[in-house]
Chain A
Amino acid sequence: MKARIRGALVLLAVAALVGCGHSVERIDRDAEHDLSGRWNDQDSRLVAEEMIADALDRPWLRDFRREEGKRPTVIVGDVRNLSHEHINTRTFVNDIQRELINSGQVDFVADADQRERIREERRDQDLHASEETRQAMGEELGADYMLLGSVNSIIDQEGRRQVRYYQVDMELVSLADNRKVWIGNKEIRKLVRSASARP
C-alpha cells in the first residue's frame, strides 16, 4: 500500500510537470497548423486564392473586356458569417481583395467605410490644399460589379468526434442590371477528434 501511495504521488508530480513550459516560435505562413479544427487563417487564404482564381478564369471577365474595352471595376460587399463559429470575415475579405488586386485583371474600389473617410479627406483638401494638388470631388471610379458571399457550416458530431464542413459561397453581381455573372463555392471538410483524457 505504501508503494502504491508513493506511486500515486509520483504520478501526480509527473502529471503536474507535463503542462509546464511556455515557448514561442515563428512559423512559416504556408506551414499547415490546424490546432482546433476551427476556421483559421490558412482556410481563409486558401479559399480566397482558389475562388478568385476560379472567378478570373470564367467568361464574364473576357466578355466585359471585349464589350467595354477596359478592365472591370469590382467592389466587395457583404460576406455574411452563417457558420457555427465566430469567423472574422474582414480577414477573409482582405484576402479576397488582395488576390483580386494582385491578379491585375480587375480594378478595385474602396468599400463604403473607406470611401467616406477618403471623401472627408477631399473635403479637407478643398479647404486646405493648394489648387495644383487638390483632388476634386465627383471623380470617383464607380464599380461595375459587387462581390457578395457567405460562409456556412454543417457540423456532425458523435461523442468526441466532429466532422466540420464549411461551404463558402461567393457571387459577382452586376451593379448595372443585377445580373449574377459568376457564382463560386469552395468546401472544406475537417475531422476533429477531441482528447478524452488529459494529464
Chain B
Amino acid sequence: MRRRLRRAWLVVGVAAALAGCTTYGDRMAPVEAAVEEGDPRRAVELLDADSGGAGDRVVDLLNRGALLRMAGEFEASNRTLEEAYDAIAEVDPLSVSESVGSLMVGETAFAYAGEPHERVLLHLLMAFNYLELGDPDAARVEALRVDLRLQRLAAEQGRSAYRHDPFARYLSGLIFEHLGEPDQALVAYRQAYQAYREQGGRLDVAVPRSLQLDLLRLADQLGLDDERDEWQAAFGLESWPAPEAHRAQAHVVVITGVGLGPRKREQGFAVQDRQGRIHSVALPYYEPRRRPLGGVQLSAGEASVPAEPVHDVDAVARILLEEQQGVLAARALGRLLVQKEMIDQAREASPVAGLAMNVFTLVADRADTRTWGMLPAQYYMARVALPPGEHRLELVYQGLGGQPLTRVDLGTLELEAGTYHFVFDRWVSARAGSLTPREAP
C-alpha cells in the first residue's frame, strides 16, 4: 500500500512539474508567430520581454540580431550580432561547473555557444547588414572573419559533412569583386566551388551556375588560360561573359532568405526500474516544416533570371544534429548512472527525499532545444548583368506548381557600369509576404 501511494505521489509530482516546465521552443513560439504574421518588430519586443538566463544569452542575441535585420534595423542588428560574437568567445571554453551540472540536469546546463553553421552565418548576416548600410569595407571585414571561422571549422569538424561553407566563400568572393579585388575573389570562388562539390550530395545544393560563370570569367580576366580550360571542361559551358563586357555592365546580386529555420523539439521516454526509480532520456530532434516554395524569379525589365538555391540552412542543421546524436545519447546514459546514485543517496536519508530527487532529475533533464530559429531555411541568389541606367527590379516567389505566391517590387536602381549592387529580401510565408521594409515606389 505504502509503495503504491509513493508511486502515485511520484506520478503526480512529475506531471505537475513537467506541466510548469517550458523548453526554449515553447518560449520562442510567440516570437515565431509574430514573424509568421509579418511583424518582426513585435517579435523583438516579445523576445526582449521573455529573454532567457545567462546560458541562453548567445541564442537570444542571435535571434534578436536576425529579427532586427528582418525589421530593417541594420545598425542595431549588427550591434546585437557583435555582442553575440563576443558572448560566443566568452562561453567557447569548456566550463567546469556546466560540465558538472550537465551530469545532473542535462545538456541545458551548458551555456549555448552556437552551432558550427550558426557561427558562420553570424558573419554573413553582419556582412549583409553592412552592404545594406553602404559600407562594403566593413562587409569585407566580415568576409575575413568568416575565413578565420572557416579555418577553425575545417580543423574542428574534420569528419563532419559540414566542414566547409560554400555560400560563405561565394559571398566573400562577391564582396571582393565589389571592392575591385579580382584575385582575392577568384580564391574565394575556387574554395566555394570545392565546398559545393564536396557537400552537394549530402546537402542537396548544386554548384550555382552563376559561380561557374564567375570562375570562367575571372580565370579569363586574370590570364589563367589553363585554369579556364579546366573549368570549361568541368562545367561543359560554351560561353561566358568576356571581361570587357563584364566591366561595361552593372551587376545586381539579389539574395533572399526564405522560410524559417527548423524547430528543435524534444523526444524522450521514461522507464521505471525494479527499485521504483523512474528514468527518462530526452533528446532533441528537428521538426520538419512544410516548404511551400517552388522557386524565386528575378525580373529586371526584359531580363528574367531564376534565383538559385545557394545555402540550405535547414539541411545543414539537421545533418549537424544527426552527427551529434551518438554523443548526446552516450552523455544521456552517463547521466542516468549519476542520477540513479543521487536518487539512492537521497532515499537513504528518507523515502520522501528519494522521491523528491527522482522528480527533480526527471524535470530537470530536458533535451536542449535551443537553436537560432530566426534564420531562414534556405538562401537563394539571383544574378543579373544590366546595361548602365535605371532599372526596375521585381522578385517573384513561386509555389510548388510555379504559380506566383508573392510579388516584391525591389524598386528602381540607378546603375553604373562595372559596379555591383546587392539587394536583399526576406520571405517567410505566402501569408506574410516579404518582411523587408521598403520605401514606397
Contact = CB atoms under 8 A, between A and B. Distances in A.
Instruction: Indicate the size class of the contact surface on chain B.
Output: 20 to 34
Contact of B148 (A5, A11, A155, A195): A155
Contact of B141 (A11, A83, A155): A83
Contacts of B141: 81, 83-86
B96 A8 contact: no
B148 A81 contact: no
A15 to B, nearest CB: 3
A16 interface: yes
B144 A12 contact: no
Contact of B345 (A1, A15, A16, A195): A1
B148 A157 contact: yes
A198 B138 contact: no
Nearest to A160: B93
B148 A84 contact: yes
Contacts of B137: 80-82
A103 interface: no
Interface in B108-142: 137-138, 140-141
A159 B138 CA distance: 26
A1 B341 contact: yes
A199 interface: yes
A15 B96 contact: yes
Please report whether the interface of chain A is mostly helix, strand, loop or mixed according to DSSP: mixed
Given A1-B341, A5-B341, A84-B141, A196 B148 contact: no
Contacts of A153: 144
Contacts of B92: 194
A194 B341 CA distance: 36
B101 interface: yes
B22 to A, nearest CB: 23
A11 B96 contact: yes
Interface in A165-199: 194-199
Given A86-B138, A155-B148, A12 B101 contact: yes
B6 interface: no
B72 to A, nearest CB: 21
Interface of A: 1-2, 5, 8, 11-12, 15-16, 80-86, 153, 155, 157, 159, 194-199
Can you list the 5 inter-chain pairs with the closest CB atoms, starting with the nearest?
Answer: A15-B97, A84-B144, A195-B93, A198-B93, A198-B95
